[in-house]
Amino acid sequence: MSLIPALEALLGKTNVLTGPDTARLSRDWMGTYEGAPLAVARPGSTAEVAATVKLAAEHGIPVIPISGNTGLTGATYTEGGLLLSTERLNRIRDIRPSSRLAIVEAGVILSRLHDAAADHDLYFPLWFGARGSAMIGGVLSTNAGGSNVLRYGSTRALCLGLEVVLPDGQILDLMSELHKDNSGYDLKDLFIGAEGTLGIITAAVMKLVPAPRAHATATLAARSLPDALILLNRLQAATGGLVEAFEYMPADYMTRLEKVRPDLGIPFPAHRDCTILVEVAATAPALTTETAQGTLPLTDLLEDTLAALMEEGLILDATLARSSTQRAAMWARREAAAELGAAVKPMIDSDIALPLDKVETFLTRIAPRLDAIAPGAETLTVAHLGDGNLHFSVYPGDPSKDLYDRVITAIEDIVQDLGGSFSAEHGVGLSKLPSMARRKNPVALDLMRKIKRAIDPANLMNPGKVIPPK
C-alpha cells in the first residue's frame, strides 16, 4: 500500500489532507515559503504520531512537524515530505497548581495555556506576539524567546519534561516532574530547539510561576542606549530583579509605526531616538498591597526610579500606565512589530543576539556599512534589550540576491566580531542555513552532524533544516 492510503487507514480520511487542503499549512504565514507537501497527517495521539512516523519511514518519506505555523525561518517548508500537524494533540493533560506545573500536548495553543494557568492564579511566563496561534510543540522545537526571557528564561528554562517520537517511531518518555535529575545525558535539551530534525515533540511538562498580583508599566524616552541600560540596572537593584520586559524601539520603529499604525500613536513625538517599554511585576504582598496613599509600592518604585533618572537627565520623558487600558495601549505599540515588519517588501530581517553592552556598538557600526551597500535603505529596529536580542530589518528597495547577501554579510560580520549570534530566538530553519554554514563554529557543526546521523541515520526528520550540508 502506498503511504497516503496507509495513513488514511491509520488516522481516518479526514485526518490526511492532500492537494488544496494542505494549503493553509504548506505556506508560512509571512508568505515567504510555499511548499508542496505530499500530504498533511493529523494524528490524534502520541501513539498515532509514532505509527505515522513508522509508516513514513517504511516508505522513505521525510516527516516535517508543524504546529501553529507562526515560524519565521521556513522550518516547515517541504517539497514532497509529509507534514505532521500537531493540531489534534491539543489536550492540557493536567495542571498541578501545588507543584506549579502543566502537562500539555504539542498542539496546545500558547494563549490557551496562559488562560488555563490563570484559572489557578498561575502564569506561564512565555509571552510574544503570536501567542494566539503558536503551539507548544513549535515553541519547544524552536526554543522560543519573547519579552519575558529577561526574568524567566527561554522555553528551555521552562520545560521540566518531554515526550518525543523518535525517527524509528519509538516513544521517548522523559515526562519528568523533577527539579533535579542527574541520571545520564540531558536528552531533553537536545530535542528542545532541534526544530524537528531529531524527533517530534508530542507533549511536555512545563513550569508555571505564581501569577503576578500587580504590574507596573511605563514608556519612556531615554537619552541614549547606555542610559537605558543604567535604568535597567537601577530598576533591577531597586526591585530585586522584578523587571519582566525591557523593550527598545528607536527612531526607525517610530517612523514606521506612524506610517502603518497611526491609530496607535507615537509616545514622544519630540524624542524618538530611544523609546523603552518597561514592565515590572510582583507577587509579594509587600509590593502589591495598596498604601495609605492609594498607590502600589511596586508602581511607586518604578515611578521613583524614573523620576530620579529624569532629574539626572538620563530620561527625557516618561509615561506611567495608570490603567489596564493604558498598559494595553503601550504593549500594542510593541506588539505591532510583526505587522510593521511585513508592511514593506522586500525585507531583509535578522534576529541577532549581542552581549548587552554591545547593542549600541552594533547599531553604530552597521549604519555606515548599510549606507555604502544600500544607500537610503529604510531600517526597522526593535529589541528585547534586557537580553540583548535585536530584530534588525533592512528594506533595500531592490530584491536582488546579491544585495541581500551583502546586507546579511555586513550584519553578520559585526555580530560575529562582537561575540554575538546570528540566531537569537527564531531558530535556523531554512533561512539561516547559509549563516550556519558561514558563521557557526565548524567543530560544533561537525558534532551536530554526528548527533543527527546517530539519531536519524536515514535523514527523514525534517531533512535539510538547521544543519547545512558539508
- Residues 18-57 close enough to bind its own copies by CB under 8 A: none
Q: Under rule CB under 8 A, which residues in 88-147 are in contact with its own copies?
A: 98-99, 142-143, 145
DSSP state of 44: S
Of the two residues 22 and 143, which places its CB atom closer to its own copies in the complex?
143
Window 276 to 295, contacts with its own copies (CB under 8 A): 282-287
Using the rule CB under 8 A, which residue among 6, 166, 211, 373 binds its own copies? 166
Q: Are 137 and 202 in contact (CB under 8 A)?
A: yes
Q: Which single residue is written with the C-alpha cell 535578522?
A: 350
Alpha-carbon gap, residue 20 to 32, rounded angstroms: 18
Q: Which stretch binds its own copies (CB under 8 A): 11-19, 112-120, 124-132, 421-429?
A: 421-429
Q: Is 339 one of the binding residues for its own copies (CB under 8 A)?
A: no
Q: From the list 321, 455, 460, 461, which residue makes contact with its own copies (rule: CB under 8 A)? A: 455
Q: Is the dihedral of CA 183, 184, 189, 190 positive or negative?
A: negative
Whether the Cβ atoms of residue 106 and residue 136 lie closer than 8 Å to each other = yes
* Best CA proximity match to 75, nearest among 83, 422, 367, 170: 83
- Using an 8 Å Cβ cutoff, are 175 and 181 in contact? no
Please report, as residue ranges, which positions from 423 to 452 form the binding site for its own copies (by CB under 8 A): 423-428, 432, 435-436, 439-441, 443-445, 447-448, 450-451
List, in order, residues 6 or more apart from 74 with CB less than 8 Å away. 28, 32, 33, 429, 430, 431
**Alpha-carbon 345 to chain mean position:** 22
Which amino acid belongs to residue 48?
A: E
In the complex with its own copies, the residue whose CB is nearer, 32 or 176, is: 176
Site for its own copies in 364-403 (CB under 8 A): 384, 387-389
Nearer to its own copies, 127 or 395 (CB): 127
Q: How many residues bind its own copies (CB under 8 A)?
A: 88
For its own copies, the binding residues in 192-251 under the rule CB under 8 A are 192-194, 198, 210, 233, 236-242
Our CB check for its own copies shows the closer of 135 and 403 to be: 135
- d(Cα 99, Cα 96) in Å, to the nearest integer? 5
Output 218 or 448, the one with its CB closest to its own copies. 448
